[in-house]
Structure 1
Amino acid sequence: MPAFYSVQVRTHTGSVREINEDAISTVLDWRETLGLEDKDQRTRGHLFAISDGMGGHAAGEIASNLVIDTLFQSYYASESVSVRDALAQAIADANQAVCEQAEANPTYAGMGATLVAAVLLEDELVIGNVGDSRAYLFRDGEVSQITHDHSWVAEQVKAGVFTEEKASHHPYRNVITRSLGPDRDSTPDFFHLQAKPGDVLLLCTDGLSNLLTDEELAQFLKAYPSDQAADVLLEQVLERGAPDNVTFALIDILGETGRKRRRAWPWLLIIFALIFVSLFFLSDNFGPNSQLRPTPSAATVGDAQKTVPASPHPASATPPPTPTLPPAPVQPLRMAEIVLPPADAVGVDSASLDSRFSTTAASSNRSRGLPQRERYVYYLRGGVETSRADSDAWTISVLHGDPGGRKVRYTLIAHGPWIDKETRPRVGDEIAIIAWPTPEDQIQGEIILDPLMIMDS
């Protein structure tokens, strides 16, 4: 089966680093440079790769780019009929190139890089990795990690010394045991999978995987098509402080039948829509008892009437698929304010804290303000500190801890009959809330969010 796919690539320096030492590339970047034709990709496949450099003094940036350049040139020059053998030789050549660069320039003596690379040939996926850059597979609503980290904490987890939770917060979690470069173990691991239409392959550096759990990745990939999911994932990492460079690729496997369906469905929908509209006007508006009626500005929900907020996403020719998350409540969730500790108490520049707010007010022990409306998705996880129920509203404070150790208090107001005393979280409960802002105007200093999911942690 021919390999039809779409790919989304994102890379960002992050909020702390001054240089982006990550490198990323896909076969689409190399077709012209290497003179690749369709027949070359039918026999060799489609290569995607990410490298995370290290070494300081710009050595990391040079190492990661050298790895990517050598990998693509070597792989597509190989005469081997085996994808795995060709990829293994390309990884070995990339390692040799880094070693020679380090030997030629003493300034780069400590340079090195991780690598995760994937080849899609028809419906076969071959993945190789060295270090802690990862490959994930999103299939049937679930995310699974394909690669195994070559790191000290991963070895402790495998030996049963650490739990996954302890490893994710351990101060040595960035100590890797394999990488490309001089005086390092550069042995790659390889993995083989059969790709199916609907699969999404995620390749990423630890700048993403250190800040988002498998559960969170699955939630966002279920809720959005790949192009929007890529923006949301990057936004989430930046919102959580982004202490490292963050780079990732989403490869959406369409398959032969998947591409045909994507072309046919929009036309079918348009045809059915035109038929429906025509029948509606013929039978209702132009019937013997027809009357001209104004367009309704509100929708009736039960016995109450509420204005339906507009979609927060820009209109497009092909609308995104409906998220496969639980249905949103009938009333919006309102975020009244964010409260942060003072910048000097946590060693964070005040400008980075104020960037969360559209308006701020500082005092000796806290900063507070309204969330910026342009934030794409809000994700909160933490303990309920206060919980108060009125006749038509539920007000809580959630203390959310980010990866940098800061505690952010969110005051939330939820309106609607769906908040009942049996299911309402209580003080001390751990909850997670995923929501997006609606485009409506602020009401009495609050920002309105449409909840996508509220769940026990």
Structure 2
Amino acid sequence: MLTANRSDIGRVRQVNEDYSWVSQYNNGVTLAIVADGMGGHKAGDVASQKAVDAFRSTVEQGAAKPDLSLQEGKMLIRQAISSANEAVYDLASRNDQYYNMGTTIVAALVKSDNAIIGHVGDSRAYKIAEGDITQLTVDHTLVNELVKSGQLSEEEAAHHPRRNVLTRAVGTDSHVEIDIQTIDLMQGDVLLLCSDGLSNMVTEEQILETVTSEQLELDAKAEHLISLALHAGGDDNITIVLLQDAVGANREERVG
């Protein structure tokens, strides 16, 4: 599995409140997570890092199991995101300066020809395959609820002033509803996990064109997506994780 993990503070924010992590194991499992924190002064970056740390400590031992089944993987992702929720909520409950902080999460567990996606909030997962791009996750936002109920069009939603208001987040309540799904992966397919600093600034067409480029290796594709978001204004922190099966992918030198 080839991986690329990139984050940029953007052109507007003073702090990068995004946090991401990618790891691969000897049993063929690859884990990845992107979290986009929110809250008061310095609370967003605390929330996202706390969530990823809790996710990681819960998921690592189980993910390395030699014969991890699909069902076990789904339970593991759910448990890990629940642990992240508990960790952030507990910290916020005990510290006034972290009151009401929270974070989005989008995570993937990839093994052979399957990927398990878990998410809360508006950080997204996309699948790029056979020249097409598919948004796998559904944004947990007020504006998306208005679109689903027919009160807003897709075009109106894209520019709505409250498009970043979440209906669900990790750490804001003692329990959180987690969306889990399983998708099939073919050789050469690419999974993209990202914060809304990318998806709000860069079109699906631009993402597709970049990821399917035969001139760029995976790291360069991630860097180019960051540059597109910055060129579009860089209004938010931008975080990108790309995952691609090494078979059928462009070869690249791996460092570190």
Q: Secondary structure at the match of 1:27?
A: strand
**Count of residues paired in the alignment:** 245
Aligned to 1:233: 225
CA distance, structure 2, for counterparts of residue 172 and residue 112 of structure 1: 17
Structure 1 counterpart of 2:12, from 16, 21, 38: 16
Q: Secondary structure at the match of 2:5?
A: strand
**Superposition map of 1:90-105 within 5 A:** 90-105=80-95
Structure 2 counterpart of 1:48, from 15, 32, 57: 32
Structure 2's unaligned 5+ residue stretches are none
Q: CA RMSD in A?
A: 2.0
Letter in 2 for 1:48: A
Letter in 2 for 1:205: S
CA contact (8 A) 1:115 1:131 kept: yes
Q: Does 1:195 pair with 2:185?
A: yes
CA contact (8 A) 1:133 1:203 kept: yes
Q: What are the Cα deviations for residues 3-48 of structure 1, in whole angstroms up to 9, with x where unaligned?
A: xx111111011101010000000115xxxxxxxx62xx44xx2210
Q: What are the Cα deviations for residues 167-193 of structure 1, in whole angstroms up to 9, with x where unaligned?
A: 110001000100011337621111111
**Superposition map of 1:344-423 within 5 A:** none
CA contact (8 A) 1:22 1:64 kept: yes
Structure 2 counterpart of 1:208, from 179, 198, 217: 198
Letter in 2 for 1:53: G
Aligned to 1:294: none
CA contact (8 A) 2:202 2:232 kept: no
CA distance, structure 1, for counterparts of residue 15 and residue 137 of structure 2: 27
**CA offset at residue 219 of structure 1?**
1.5
Task: Return the TM-score normalized by structure 2.
Answer: 0.90
Letter in 1 for 2:226: L
Structure 1 counterpart of 2:128, from 115, 138, 142: 138
Aligned to 2:107: 117
CA contact (8 A) 1:179 1:185 kept: no
Larger radius of gyration: 1
Q: Secondary structure at the match of 2:133?
A: strand
CA contact (8 A) 1:178 1:184 kept: no
Aligned to 2:41: 57
> Aligned residues: percent identity?
38
CA contact (8 A) 1:21 1:61 kept: yes
CA distance, structure 1, for counterparts of residue 4 and residue 78 of structure 2: 25
Aligned to 1:162: 152
CA contact (8 A) 1:178 1:185 kept: no
Q: What are the Cα deviations for residues 60-105 of structure 1, in whole angstroms up to 9, with x where unaligned?
A: 1011001111101101234885100111011111100011111221
CA distance, structure 2, for counterparts of residue 239 and residue 99 of structure 1: 35
Q: Secondary structure at the match of 1:113?
A: strand
Structure 1's unaligned 5+ residue stretches are 29-36, 263-315, 318-457
CA distance, structure 1, for counterparts of residue 172 and residue 244 of structure 2: 35
Structure 2 counterpart of 1:245, from 229, 237, 241: 237
Letter in 1 for 2:211: L
CA contact (8 A) 2:89 2:174 kept: no
Higher relative contact order structure (alpha carbons within 8 Å, sequence separation ≥ 6): 2
CA distance, structure 2, for counterparts of residue 163 and residue 220 of structure 1: 27
CA contact (8 A) 2:82 2:175 kept: no
